Each structure stands twice: as structure tokens, then as C-alpha cells.
Chain A
């Protein structure tokens, strides 16, 4: 990893059916940055992560990757598509994190198997390796998914509400892992709702309310006037909404 790693958003608009969910957002996630994305429900936080991983094409604007590739992103989505009734053990689930390294065929043995067990131990699940994933609690499953992220060893980590419905002790354990990644100069972006947690652990914040409200040092972004602004966001949209003025401008200039 070179220190020049960065993800830059340039006048980025993401959305669904031409309706913007993230509106004219510009800024850079630098290497070694630990950023919390905050904002009310429907503010475009998840949409932004989807845009960064490439699951959603921008309506306008650009996302540029410097030093890292889109495939280098480890992404923990909020709504798990995970089939929990699948008859598979925790160690096998965690070992999926080695996919990039091992591909579809190479066996998980020797050093790699040791890494799987290290990762399981690192998230505090020692002794759970042989348990069926269907028998895990919500918090234990989240620990297992963090173990999988550990093995992915990605320079960019995106977490969507990683601590929702997770108890204090598990949150603290998983935050330790986040800090460890931070120390390794990875780009970490997490969608969060717990402002105390953001203030205590995340040096930078991006407050979204469809459009950007603030992006910078957490202490400066998480101010009462910003929260008021974010709360005033109008969530409704109409089928006959006019085309955004900023979109119109270049066309008008051309005509």
C-alpha cells in the first residue's frame, strides 16, 4: 500500500430512477482516514457505499480511485443476503475472506488455515470454528463477518451500520479491529447512527442529507446547527420533479 491511496468523489450524484439519493457530493477519502458517514434515514448513506463499490452507477459526476482498485474494497453491507440456514461451519464462512488469494480451487491449508484460526481468535470467537453458522447469535455472526473482513486484508473497508443491534462489549471488540485497520493506513468508511461512538472513535465525519451538510473533523461536523439542517431534509420526491438546476446549467450553456 502506498500512502497515496485515495478515493475521490467529484460532483457525485447517485440515485434511483433519476431521483438523486446522494446529491452533488465532492470530496476525498484519504489513505489512513477513518470516516463516519452520518445522517438521517434516507439521507443516501448506504447509496453512497453502493456507489463506491460499484453496485450503483452514478447519475452524474465521478468516483476516481487512486492507488487502489475497486476490487480492493472489502464491503460489509447492512442487509445481509447471508443464507443462515446453509449447512456450513464458522471456519468455512471466515475462510471465504481468502477468496481473492485462493480463488475457487486452492485448498485452505497450512499457513492459510492458520490465518483463518487467527482471524477467528482475533474477533473473540475461539472455539466457534466448528459451529454451524445457523447456531450463532446476531452479535456472534457479526464477529464472524469481521473475521472474514480481516482475511480479505483490503486497503479499503466499507462498513454499513456494523454495530446496529450489537451489544457494547461486541462493539468494543469490533472497534478495536477498526482501530487496528486505521493504524495500518487503510481507508475506512462506516455508516453509523451512534453519535457518541462517532465522536469517540472516528476522527472524520461526513454528514449527508442527500446533499452534503458537512465533511471534515468530527468535532466540527457534528454540531447542532448541522443536525438541524440535516433534519430539515425533505425525503419525498415526485414523478414530475423538474430536472436539477445544476444538471440544466451545462445544457443551457450548450444551447
Chain B
């Protein structure tokens, strides 16, 4: 979806009738606009919903680890279902197999030097690589420390203890920064809890319902000066509109 911006509207120069009618307006592969505000029918750059089942990046074992992690970060309780049930692992899987996982669009030219914290990340490791390597190291750590068990097989209290150690960077994972992994995992977990359901997480708009965010609505004109009143409508997503079919 993010890449469409680089390829769209090539039709403008491929249409010779267009050029003939409107005068010479082509410049090799430049997208050239001249004579009228450009518009063409049937254009749609809406996000394409991710596939609902299977894994696109994780192996089943990696997926089980992430599902266990997100279920502790966002546990099921009276406020919402847990991270696994709302699809956070699915969300992360789809992100890692997409542009985000490859650091697409970021400046990734060498040399990679150790910088000051204020200079931002200087790591050549992509998010996809970081997940794979760290999950592997984490399960190796668990196998050593818990008699061959993987992270997903541990009791919740043990899992929480490990997460606390990761958060502070105290967990030693074969030279990988457990803190850097925690940070990206937690950021992606929040995304999977709160991003539009088209991306695979936030199933049933559970994250939005928890806080009372109405989602992809675009018109509160009648509500801006109704202070201290709960907005009454349930959330909607880009492709999530339960009330459209409520009266079928």
C-alpha cells in the first residue's frame, strides 16, 4: 500500500490520446500535470486488508512466542480480551513481512557507528531480523533456565518476570539488546491493539471500545460543544461497520 505512491498515475504519460489532446506534456518518465486539476475515475489507495489466517513471516514456534508475549503485555481482563485474541501477533506478523519489517524507506546506508542516544537508532538490523534473532535467543534462554521449556510454555508469573528483565535490559540474550527488543515489541503491541482492524489487530475494535475511541469517524460537528457528554456511537473501522448489516 505504501509503495503505490511511487508508481501511480503512470497512465498520464502512457496515454497518447491524452498527450495529443492536451498538447505535448510528456517528459520521459516525469509525471507531468498541465491544463487541469488532475483526477481520474476509480482511483482508490485504501489499505488492503491483511489475510486473516496463517503466518506470513513467523514460523509457528515464533508465532507462539509472540502470542504469549502480547498476552502478557495486554492481558485478558474485564477491560478487554487479551493480546492474542485481539490479533496483535497477527498484526506484528503482517508488519514484519511488509515494508516496516525491512526498514523500507529509512536511511540504511553505511557506515553504522555506535551513536549517542540523541542521535537515534543506528542499527543495521531490520525489525524482521531483530524479532527473529531475539525470539530465538529468548527461547534458548528459557530452555536453559526452565528445563527445556519455551517462553510460551512458562507460567504467566514467570513470563512476567522475564518481561520485566527485558524492559530494563537486564535479560542477557546472546549479545542482543533485550531492551531494544522490548521497546519495538511494546510499540508494535500498542499498534496491534489500537490500529485499524484492516491491519490484522484490534479485532472487534476491542482496543477502541476499551477507551471509547469512535475510530474512523469523520464528523463530530454536532458534538464539539456538547461538553462532558459521552459520545454515543460505537467505533467504526475503515472496513468495520457492524451497523451496516444490522437490519438484513
A interacts with B: no
Interface residues of A (CB under 8 A from B): none
User: Chain B residues in contact with chain A, CB under 8 A?
Assistant: none
